[in-house]
Each structure stands twice: as structure tokens, then as C-alpha cells.
Chain A
């Protein structure tokens, strides 16, 4: 891929961010830029603060110190502008909720519906502007779930659930896709499909940021790998990051106390 298109601001800038849960630090002085228009994989052990980074970007959690910028702007205003789409971990969603697959994907369009005619906005979402349904169809088709559009989400298998969540994130047509463990508990066929869809998004110029445990897919698809364990252990191309030495350092970073020097790659 040629990289001639200028990217004025990184997709995500993290400036010296500290975060903690109940006094227990999870992010310490994290300072890193995630490039726009590229695929970044965030890798680190459990409890390394990977999801916390997402939670800060989504405004669910506040950083104790430091700040984040999304495409050069405040994340809150960027969320309202529909810049970020988020694909949750499977456990975070209430699968018992009485909602069909297509209605779930339609919730991804709710942000865009602010621009609809007033009379449409007071109607139930089912009668929204047909262009939203067109996008929903497209996204369901992309993840190969169109046949299941009318099924309740509770009746799906693990891989299908992931694909619905991905379709919902795609439906937002956002410039930045945040994905929390998109491959956890997924069958091989779904895994391949999810990765190909994301690759397509990345090729059409979107930014993909995914938290993952899966080294293999990171090696194959990601442009950049961020190694994170409370602090930034390394940030660079997969060939440099996904080597035994760096991974061992990532695993060990959680035990080290804060004053040891960190290696910049």
C-alpha cells in the first residue's frame, strides 16, 4: 500500500496517561501515538490496561493524569461526531435482551439518526430512514449474517455473536474502529471472516485498533503493534515487536516497579 495520503493527526494520541481502579494503578505514564489509517494491535497480558485505554477513549473512565486526543480533538466531541465505533467483548453485552440481529445492528445507526427528519425520529426505529436499513443490510452481508437477520441475538453461536457485534460497529461508518478482543472464543471460519472484513476497512482508509491475545493474526494483519503492560513496553512494526525478547519484557513489565527505564523501540 502506498502511504502518500497525509495524516495530519494520529488517530489516537495518548499523553502521559495514568489510570487506576480503586487506587490500583492500571496505566502508568502511557505516552504513545496510534497512527491514523493503519491497523494497530494492542498486546499485553490480562490486567495490562488494554481495555482501560478503550474505556478512557469512550469516556466511561477518566484518566487520573494526562490526556487523550482523537484525530487531534477532544474524545467527547469526536464521539458525538461519530468518529469512533466500538466492538465490545462478548461478555459485556446482554444477550438475553429481546432484540433481533438486525435491530441490534441498527443501534449502530442511532448516532446518524440525529440528522433525520423530526417526524422520523419520533417513530419507532423500525420506520427510520430506509438508508439506515440499507447500511444494516450491507454490514450484515459483509459478516455473512444476512440469513440470520430476524433471529433473536440470544439464539446465536459464539462466532455469530462476534460477527453481529462487528456488523454493528461497521454500521456506524466511523473512521476509527476500536475492537476489544474480536477473536476471543471464535471458530476458525468466523476468525478468518472477521479479519478479512477488518482488512477491507483498513484498506478503505479506516483506522483499526484492536486489543488481542492472538499473536498470529497480529503478525499477519497489523501494521503496528503496541506492547502494553501498564506502561508502553514497545511500539513498532510486528516484526520488531512480536519477538521473544520483547514479549518476555512485556510479560515482566507488570512486576517491575515504576522507576526502571523503559525501552523505546
Chain B
């Protein structure tokens, strides 16, 4: 069963990579040359997938004001990775469990004590992070720790790529099938409640999706920088549109574009890949911040200058 699954996964990945290479082939030699290497082809596919999943989820994170929660879950994943390593489990199982447990812990602290949510999150994630750093310090090298913290997309192997692909498919299907409850819960939880939706299921479902996304992005951008990928694309798209579906498309586009450009730059100029990806994403955000039609700073300044003139005429 497992073997069959793995063969299928490999075949799918190889097909996707072959498809990508056709697209890459269209570009001039200077741009496409790096992708002659097999590791760059894997890195490209991973980047695109991670950019897309993070972009999609980032809409919910931004609109639901869950940035800090995303930060918390991503840090909380670290001890899960370490413990899974100790027990010989696949790292993503440990990471997923740790993320989910800490999200539940935050919810419990917030609901049953007088601790407010930001303090509950800060407390949980620094604890989990510290635990992870201590365990990893005992069992692995600093390079290992650095890769988990900051990602190493150039070293992505098949198993990680399969996990990313699987997470991507799950996240996409979940958002597709549960679009209405997810959107309504994000927009107006009371209304969701009044309409008879089970909001706790939606709440924890969304948290699990977030955790899955973080785990899937672990090897690409790393624990620390995944938060940027969960905030920046959504924030960029929010500046550009007043429609949710458009926002999702723009956000996915921003995520993919920053991941691919970042990967290319990191290869060409020998930069840390996670950092390069996030810097490109931030650059795109800055462009949107300045030039967005309605909410852009330049447009606003221009309208303010024009404003008095048009009203008096």
C-alpha cells in the first residue's frame, strides 16, 4: 500500500516537474539555465506549491487577524520535529501534532483563565520553541537547527515534496468544499452561529489547515519565515481588491511569484533561500502599498491633492 502510494506520488511529481520544465523552456537561456539541475527542478515545484498554499491560507489569516496565531503555531512545531526525530517518526507527524496541541492549549488558556489571547499565544509559543531548541541542541547539529528554522529549499527531497503536494491538495479541497462556512466564520462568527453552523468545528478545522500549511512549508522557508508567507501575500492582496475570490487569486499569485523569484535570486546570488523568498514577498507588498488603486499611498495622496479642486468645480 505504502509502496504503491509512494510510486504514485513520485509519478505525479515527475509529471508536474516535466510540465514545469516545458514552461521554463519558453524563457531565454539565461533565465532557464539554473533549472537544468534536478535539485532546482524539485525546488521550483516546492516553491510554487508552498507559495500557493500559503497564499490561499494567508487570506484567512489576514482577514481573521490570526497573524499572531500563525506565528505561535509555527514556533510550536519545533519540539514536534525534535521529538519525532528522537522517536524515529516521520517529522511531519510530530510537527502536526505539536502544532495542533499548542493551538488547543492556547484556546484552553484563553477560555478558562483570565489570560488574554495575545499573552496566551506568546506564552505557549515561546515555551514550545524553547523546548524545541533545547531538545535539538542535544540531538543534532546546528546546521540541522538552522535548516528547520530558516528552510533549505535547494535541498528538498522527494518525501518532503510529496508531503507538500499532499498538503496542497488537502488545503485546496478543504477551502473549496467548506468555502461557505470558512468565509462566514471569518467574516462574522455570530452570523455563522445564528445560521446553525458549528463554529467550533470550523474554528479548529481552520487551525488544523493552518498547521498543515506550516508543516508543508517547513523545509522551504522554515519555521520562522513561514509566518511571513502566511501574512504578506494576503496583506498585499487585501490592498488590491474588494472581492474575496479575487483576493484569494491575487494572494496565491503573490505567494507563487515571490517563491519562484526568491528561489531564482537565491541560486543566482547564493542567498539564503527562505530569506530571499520573504524579501521578494515584502517587495511586492511595498509595491502594492504604494501603487494600489484604491488603498495605495500614491493614489490617496493624489486624490487628496485633487480633492479640493474637484469639489469646488
Contacts and interface: CB of A to CB of B under 8 A. Distances in A.
B244 A99 contact: yes
A152 B247 CA distance: 13
B184 interface: yes
B74 to A, nearest CB: 24
Interface in A72-102: 76, 79-82, 84-86, 88, 92-94, 96-100
Given A81-B196, A82-B196, A98 B191 contact: no
B243 A58 contact: no
Interface stretch (B5-13, B84-92, B174-182): B174-182
Given A58-B190, A60-B193, A97-B63, A107 B243 contact: no
Contacts, number: 82
Contact of A99 (B177, B181, B193, B243): B243
- The CB with the most chain A CB atoms within 10 A, among B63, B191, B197, is that of B191
A86 B190 contact: yes
Interface residues of A, number: 35
B180 A113 contact: yes
Interface string A55-70: 0001110000000000
Contact of A111 (B177, B187, B196): B196
B188 A88 contact: yes
A94 B188 contact: yes
A131 interface: no
A124 to B, nearest CB: 7
B177 A122 contact: yes
A158 interface: no
Contacts of B243: 98-100, 152
Contacts of A172: 194-195
B209 to A, nearest CB: 18
- What secondary structure prevails in chain A residues at the interface with B? loop
A98 B179 contact: no
B187 A168 contact: no
A47 interface: no
A80 B196 contact: yes
Given A60-B193, A79-B196, A88-B190, A110 B184 contact: yes
B241 interface: yes
A125 interface: yes
A81 B187 CA distance: 22
A220 interface: no
6 contacts: A60-B189, A86-B191, A107-B187, A107-B188, A108-B191, A110-B197
Given A58-B190, A82-B195, 6 more contacts: A60-B193, A86-B191, A86-B194, A88-B188, A110-B181, A172-B195
Interface of B: 63, 114, 176-177, 179-181, 183-184, 186-191, 193-197, 238, 241-247
Interface of A: 22, 58-60, 76, 79-82, 84-86, 88, 92-94, 96-100, 103, 107-108, 110-111, 113, 122, 124-125, 152, 154, 168, 172, 178
